[in-house]
A and B are shown apart, each in its own frame.
Chain A
Amino acid sequence: MSEPAVAASGLTKRFGDFTAVDHVSFEVEKGEIFGYLGANGAGKSTTIRMLTGLLAPTSGHGRVAGHDVATSPEAVKASIGYMSQRFSLYLDLPVVENLLFFGGAYGLSGTALRSRAEEMIELTGLHGLADATTGSLPGGVRQRLALACALLHRPGVVFLDEPTAGVDPVARRSFWRLIRELAAGGTTVFVTTHYLDEAEYCRRIGLMVDGRLVALDTPAALKRAFVPGLVLVARGRDLARAAPALLGREGIRAVTPFGAGLHIMVDPGRWTGEAVERALAGAGASGVRVESAEPSLEDVFLAVVDRGAKEAPAP
């Protein structure tokens, strides 16, 4: 039985009166992509900072790659890769110098460092850009370079803190392809994001609300657990004007704008698609079409937030 790559038990961080992370416990298996979701300020970054040895926990334990984060942060740091929120590269330096510098920071040197840097340039699709000034590259390329910098020393676990913030959708997709390849190769990936579509790529997801881990499971199981109702998608004109008429009616759980349409979560015993269509048309919308849909993680997220953090954390 191998030890989990990351294990947190009762991990807590207080800043004065404010509890940023409140008794968080979970385990991440080797080679797993673990998504850590939550609004800004929910405690995602603070959790990562404790697990990477940057912040000492107020109480609780964290073990990463077999080392205790509180007692041997240096050993933790040497065996993980970390990509911080703004993937802080040196923009005035060429691509290859960023790689060489971070490689040196992890103790690589000489020909081993050079050949490893070239390997990472190939792996992350940066060929031909080695001598380009980092600042002249588009966000998506910089992001892959930042990942390459975090992977130079072949860490068993990588922590990515909002790695795709501010990157265009095409670049995000190719970045996630890299992440999946990495995990397939046995690297454990711990990633925070607030793009809920990306979270679908994760094997398991932890949801943070106000410092507490309120849900933890695979995306499919979370959907089953948190969105038991029927999810309907309504399209048509003047939907926004008609939406308030639905709110507060018995059996309507939530109405949220979704693109140009509406996501309506209903109690399947009380509402059908046709009934919602009629209700919207009656409230002033025209050309209304309603279809049932697969719940998205966004629905899960909203359901969790709606339910509030009053409930006890999920087991």
Chain B
Amino acid sequence: MRERLRKALVRIGGMAAKETLHIRRDPRTLYLALGMPVLMLFLFGYGVSFDVDRVPIAVADLDRTESSRALVDALTASREMVSIGAASPGEAERLFRSGAALAVLVVPEGYARDVATGKRTRVQLLVDGADAVIANQLLAKADGLVRAETRRLAGPGLAGREPPLQVKVWTRYNPGARSALFMVPGLAAYLLAIGAVLLTALTVAGEWERGSMEQLFASPVGRLQIVLGKLLPYLVLGMLQLLLVLAFGVVAFDLPIRGDVALVFLVGLFFLVGMLGQGLLISVVAKNQLVATQAGALSAMLPSLLLSGMLVPIQNMPVPLQLLSRIVPARYLVQALRGVLLKGNGLDVLWPELAALAAFAVVILGIATARFQRRLA
């Protein structure tokens, strides 16, 4: 009995050691697992941003008074909007078309006079609505800034009295509404999914293609031992990926880790096991590396990108897609990671996501190993 266990461990260890050698000798694997995450984090973290930051606006100040200049200053002070200079209201369309400005602020003649006499006055903000996300955020920002300016102007007269209506936007968890923070958990899901599914599918399909799987089947190594030995190194690699993504998030984007780090890795582990199972299943069904690569990339990339809630909030999806997202493990990983990292959630809140990830892992690994057991070399 002990001898059998010893031999089983020797075999699993041997498989894992060989797989590690393959990984170390193939720069593509390491790039895919560790280089791509860094690249993607840069691209998504810095490049893909839903933040309103330095949005170019043009100013048509028809009043040209101290008050009107004060209003322009109030709008551009935070650098969320930057003035690109003066323009006439008629130039708005040209500016939008050329992309030189995304908004034009029109301050009417007589603005200072009206403000001074307490008369109701209007300023206009023409916004380029081509990018709905930016346009909406811009309108919201401008609205808030103008209200603040109104309060300041009305200040002396209203001293000690609260304005009758006050709007106060209080963003929790991600006060700057910085998309990087929101994106990092999504990226983690995306990168872990691609790495785990693609690499497992490739390495197992490679054994079929090379014929070495037959050689292994003809040896006393059990099939479960083959699976364990082959998948273990990729599990470790996946955990390293997660560590890398987190570290990068913390260093480059000030990603907070409000919850327990151990929980982050527990969630990641459950997710990874499911992804390894998915990769294994693909490699058993696909007969060669080419098909396995394509099936692996598609089945890992699309759901984790589109149905995980990483880019598109799940609540905004059509109902059929919402339902479909329920069987996408990336959805639960993103939810859980956002929960732990940004909100500091504990196991008491997280268990449904963990359970969902575990269920997926068990089902897919079960199917994959069953098919693996049956398939001939």
Contact = CB atoms under 8 A, between A and B. Distances in A.
Interface of A: 52-55, 74, 77-78, 80, 82, 84-86, 88-90, 92-93, 97, 100-102, 104-109
Q: Which of B10, B218, B220 has the most CB of A within 10 A?
A: B218
A109 B10 contact: yes
Q: Which of A54, A104, A106 has the most CB of B within 10 A?
A: A104
> What does DSSP make chain A's interface, helix, strand, loop or mixed?
loop
A263 B13 CA distance: 57
Interface string B217-228: 111110000000
Chain B contact-residue range equals: 20 to 34
B371 to A, nearest CB: 17
Contacts of A106: 219-220
Contact of B211 (A53, A86, A93): A86
15 contacts: A52-B218, A54-B217, A54-B376, A78-B220, A84-B218, A88-B211, A88-B214, A90-B210, A93-B18, A93-B25, A97-B21, A104-B14, A105-B11, A107-B7, A107-B220
Interface in B168-223: 210-212, 214-221
Contacts, number: 71
Contacts of A74: 220
A84 B219 CA distance: 11
Contacts of A90: 18, 22, 210, 212
Contacts of B25: 92-93
Interface in B1-58: 7, 10-11, 13-15, 17-18, 21-22, 25-26
Contacts of A105: 11, 14-15, 216, 219-221
A250 B207 CA distance: 56
Nearest to A48: B218
Nearest to A80: B218
A101 B212 CA distance: 12
B377 interface: yes
Given A84-B218, A88-B215, A105-B216, A55 B376 contact: yes
A145 B106 CA distance: 82
Q: Which of A55, A80, A88 has the most CB of B within 10 A?
A: A88
Given A88-B210, A106-B220, 8 more contacts: A52-B218, A55-B376, A77-B219, A82-B218, A92-B25, A93-B25, A105-B219, A105-B221
Nearest to A133: B25
Contacts of A86: 210-211
A54 B22 contact: no
Contact of B218 (A77, A89, A101, A104): A77
B18 A97 contact: yes
A70 to B, nearest CB: 16
A88 B215 CA distance: 7
Nearest to A109: B10
Contact of A77 (B21, B210, B220): B220
Contacts of A97: 18, 21
A287 B350 CA distance: 93
Contacts of A84: 211, 214-215, 218
Interface in B73-132: none
A86 B377 CA distance: 13
Closest 8 CB pairs of A and B: A104-B14, A88-B211, A88-B212, A82-B218, A107-B7, A105-B219, A78-B220, A101-B18
A54 B214 CA distance: 8
A77 B17 CA distance: 22
Contacts of A104: 10-11, 13-15, 17
Given A88-B210, A89-B212, A53 B218 contact: yes
